[in-house]
Amino acid sequence: MKLYLLHPISVHFPITLLITALFFEGVHRIIHKEWLGKASTALLYLGTLGALTAAGLGLLAEDTVPHVPDAWEFLYNHKILGLVTAGLFLVLSAWKLFWGKFWPASMTPRVFLGVWILAIVILMVTAYFGGELVFQFGVGYHR
């Protein structure tokens, strides 16, 4: 079995879950429906688990995928950004879990949302580098 193929399968789940979670959070802040807040939180937690899984499988893929020397710089950037992305969403999930326990909840919503938006941007840049690895350099492609 080609273990490196597990990484590209796993990355689409956190991308979808985390972007959808942010959308639900934004709508929740506009129309104040409790179920939207709960759904956003659940999707954030699931997306974070997915991001951590994808990062772990990415590290496994790095060790098992056939290497393409021209792609090493892109691979390095993708790896670092993937770890940063997973770490940011882990921080956001912990922040949400302990919301209001260590600081006033009224002080954090805008900062929290700003960090979340930044994390989504980094997630998309990470995905861009991953796409370049596959489509520009053919990493993982066997003839």
- Dump pLDDT digits (tens) for 72-127: 999 999 999 999 999 999 999 998 888 767 666 665 688 889 999 999 999 999 99
Are 133 and 139 contacting, i.e. CB atoms less than 8 angstroms apart?
Answer: yes
pLDDT band at 64 (very low <50, low <70, confident <90, very high): confident
Q: Round to whole Å and give the CA distance between 1 and 88.
A: 31
Q: Indicate the domain borders of the chain.
A: 3-135
Amino acid 99: pLDDT = 77
Q: What is the dihedral of CA 88, 89, 95, 98, to 10 degrees?
A: -140
User: Pick the residue with more confidence: 118 or 140?
Assistant: 118
The pLDDT tens digits of the residues spanning 2-38 come to: 888 899 999 999 999 999 999 999 999 999 999 999 9
Q: What tokens appear for 2 in the block?
A: 């080609």
